[in-house]
Amino acid sequence: MVSQAWRPLGGATTAWFDAPSLVKAAALAVHALAVAPDAAVDVRATGTRVRLSSQAQAEAVSGHARELGLTADPAALQLLDVAIDSVAPAATSAFWERALGYEATGGELTDPLRRDPRLLVGRVESASTLRDRFHLDVVRPGDAVRRAGLGEASGPYGVRHVDPDGNEVDVVPGDPLEGAGDWRVVFATMACYRTTEPERQRHLVTEAAMIADRAGFPLLIDVRPGLVILDSGKDRADADAHGLDVDFPASAADL
């Protein structure tokens, strides 16, 4: 039987464990990846969220959390989906699949990296002018923006596109971070590293947590099969936003 620390969310068995530092949070992540290489793990300065495709490894992860002195907090768990009511769901799904680089399964669009919300597209008989209008800002590499083929852009920055139901998205090309070319910056500053060897993946998670902890920076570290994503958080790479004695580009270059 799976302990009460774990909850079924979005097709995964999920738990959050509070941690006092990135290093402690990363230690749990490394163990979770060792027992479940296909886990999706989010490492934060305040704890670790582990999502497992099977319940079988849950108790092993919980046991290691106890050894590290980490406590599960089921109240911290959250699942966010975005739902669209559409009079033309096929065309609307196709638009957002291209705009976001998502994968389509029926009326559901999912982030292939399992980092961002699902998009659920449902049919309605008539459009509403008073609701169901939203605007998303999305940052993607410049070549991905060009390949998306969304047509001519508009808006004050020349990056706005509109789906068949009138919902808007600004698809913004990410620029390199000066001095740390692996990183891209718009809104958040991020780097994504592909790792073919699980041991190297776990090593990168550990080292990134140590460097960020030493700098006092609350780096976001997301781990997916074959990937490690390092993320400053929205606007947090800017000294005026983080308010720390940290040269973020220099830390990013170290990472």
Q: Average pLDDT over the chain, rounded to whole?
A: 90
Which residues pair with residue 104 across a beta bridge? 109
Q: Residues 167-172: what's their mean pLDDT?
A: 92
Out of 53-57, 161-165, 205-209, give the one with best mean pLDDT: 205-209
Residue 1 pLDDT > 60: no
**pLDDT value at position 99?**
95
Residue 36 identity: A
CA distance 95 to 91: 6
**pLDDT value at position 204?**
96
**pLDDT value at position 62?**
96
Residue 113 pLDDT > 80: yes
**pLDDT value at position 159?**
94
Q: Would you place residue 141 in the very low, low, confident or very high pLDDT band (cuts 50, 70, 90)?
A: confident
Angle between helices 198-215 and 22-35 (to 10 degrees): 170
Contact call for residues 41 and 64 (beta carbons, < 8 A): no
**pLDDT value at position 248?**
87
- Confidence (pTM): 0.88
6-28 pLDDT per residue, tens: 999 988 999 999 999 999 999 99
Q: Would you place residue 180 in the very low, low, confident or very high pLDDT band (cuts 50, 70, 90)?
A: confident
User: 123-148: buried (b, 16+ CB within 10 Å) or exposed (e) per residue?
Assistant: eeeeeeeeeeeeeeebbbeeeebeeb
**pLDDT value at position 123?**
83
Q: Which segments of 6-107 are extended strands (E)?
A: 7-9, 12-18, 40-44, 47-52, 71-72, 81-86, 103-105
- Helix-then-strand count for the chain, H and E: 7, 16
**pLDDT value at position 149?**
92
Q: What's the N-to-C CA distance of the chain in angstroms? A: 40
Q: Would you place residue 132 in the very low, low, confident or very high pLDDT band (cuts 50, 70, 90)?
A: low
Q: Residues 176-202: what's their mean pLDDT?
A: 89
**pLDDT value at position 64?**
95
Which residues pair with residue 170 across a beta bridge? 137, 160
Angle between helices 58-68 and 22-35 (to 10 degrees): 150
